A and B are shown apart, each in its own frame.
Chain A
Amino acid sequence: MKKYEKMYHELRKKYSDEEIVDSMLIPADLTKKEQAELAEEMREIRMKSLRETTEDQQILSDVMRLRFQIENYLKKESFSPQKTFGQYLKEYIRIVKKSRHEIAEDLSIHYTKLSRIINDKEEPNVELSYRLEKHSGKLIAAELWWKLVIKKQTYLISQDVETRKVEYLKVKNQIRA
């Protein structure tokens, strides 16, 4: 009996097919020839799928790509001035193929304010995160947008020696730590 077939029969003594599918992928036992045939078949399926991708599907795919880029940045990298809320918003607008005027209209935000946010001249409010969540078809959650603001602010606080000094002077009766 073939390798995975044998394993399947062993597993079937304990689990139903549904339980197996719920907990593992048992691959098909394939000869080298079958592997090559299926690989060629899948290559053709993939090329056909690429040819048939519509503009709307491409936009959705790119929005998903942006979502995972933001997630990875938030999780794995330290703050970068090139990866702010404004910069990701700029990329989002490019992906959805809209002008800044159109996006400002879509998000009910003044064009000048939008431009200032994109150029990191002004910080967004949490309301804009909710609006972007809705605009992205909920593919990029408000929390994700907002975490970009938090990441930047956290970095700025950690670097702000001057304000820290000024504010320290206003404190009385500090506890002894």
Chain B
Amino acid sequence: MKLIIQETNEEFEAEIIEVNDNDFLAIKKSGQFSFNWNEEKQYEVFKIVKENEENPEIHGLISLIDISNEMRIHISLIENSNDNKGENKKVDRVAGCLLAFAAGLAFEKGYEGFTSLVPKTKLIGLYVNKYGFSQYGRQLAIEKNDAIQLIQKYL
């Protein structure tokens, strides 16, 4: 998957790796994240970083819940680092890659890409328009062809 340095439009290869205990300490120390990611330790937490780099900077995080009896992946949280938020962000496509990764995992597990989330109600329309999620009341989900489109765009 490719991330883009916004200032130069230069692309670089990125990878998504499971977060370990040392990462959780580094995440807290960095001051780059608003959510309390230690609370997500109970789930599967992944980081997106530059590929093949020693001690790479964490550009974003995602925490996932595998609800295997319903064959779906639920996204608990996503967050770009502060450097990658807003109009002056350093790196683009971070959240899209993390969402597509979740959908990819849902295909890998044979869940037809079914991925759900419950965002703040006011923002639902924006997630629908930007990433192709479908709305079911207060919840959002993506699956099948829409999930494939998301993956083809970002991964």
A: residues with CB less than 8 A from B are 4-5, 7-8, 10-11, 14-15, 17-30, 38, 41-43, 45-47, 49-50, 53, 57-58, 60-62, 64-65, 67-69, 72, 138-139
Contact = CB atoms under 8 A, between A and B. Distances in A.
B94 to A, nearest CB: 7
Contacts of B109: 65
Of the listed residues B71, B117, B143, the one surrounded by the most CB atoms of chain A closer than 10 A to its CB is B143
28 contacts: A7-B34, A14-B85, A15-B86, A19-B87, A21-B126, A22-B80, A23-B60, A23-B79, A23-B94, A24-B35, A24-B78, A25-B78, A28-B121, A29-B120, A38-B118, A38-B139, A41-B139, A42-B70, A42-B72, A43-B70, A46-B116, A50-B71, A57-B112, A57-B144, A64-B151, A68-B107, A68-B108, A139-B148
Interface SS majority for chain B: mixed
A65 B138 CA distance: 29
A5 B121 CA distance: 10
A60 B145 contact: yes
A45 B34 contact: no
Interface residues of B, number: 50
A29 to B, nearest CB: 8
Interface of B: 34-35, 60, 70-72, 75-80, 84-87, 89, 94-95, 104-105, 107-110, 112-114, 116-123, 126-127, 130, 136-139, 141, 143-145, 148, 151-152
A53 B143 CA distance: 11
Given A11-B34, A60-B148, A27 B119 contact: yes
